[in-house]
Amino acid sequence: MNFAFIPSPSNSTWEIGPLTLHFYAICILLGIAVAIWIGRKRYEKMGGNPDDVSDAAAWAVPAGIIGGRIYHVITSPQKYFGADGVPTDAFKIWEGGLGIWGA
């Protein structure tokens, strides 16, 4: 058995009624929740108010998602602004497209 290769799951979505959940989105949300939880604990140990971490995350997380989407749109202009592009599709985040450095 080759342990250097981990195959991708055959299914990457989870259907709950009309809602489709992508596994990568669940992982991102779980990572955000764990980061906030760890940040709150560490900041409190340093003598800070843990609510400050939550307050900062309330602004930083949406800003990061919006920034990732803007980066994706800027680096894939043909899809949105090319000859067959539809500029309003840039707002359809549920269709995928999020630039994440290091991913």
Per-residue model confidence as pLDDT tens for the chain (103 residues): 666 777 777 778 888 999 888 888 888 899 999 999 999 999 999 999 999 999 999 999 999 989 988 999 998 889 899 898 899 999 988 787 877 766 5
Neighbour count for residue 27 (Cβ, 10 Å):
10
State residue 54's pLDDT score. Answer: 97
CA gap 103, 9 in Å, rounded:
18
State residue 36's pLDDT score. Answer: 98
| Residue 20 β-bridge partners | 15
Which residues are CB-contacts of 96 (< 8 A; sequence separation ≥ 6)? none
State residue 96's pLDDT score. Answer: 76
For residue 59, what are its two tokens? 């602004």
Domain ranges of the chain: 24-94
Sign for the pseudo-dihedral over CA of 65, 67, 70, 71: negative
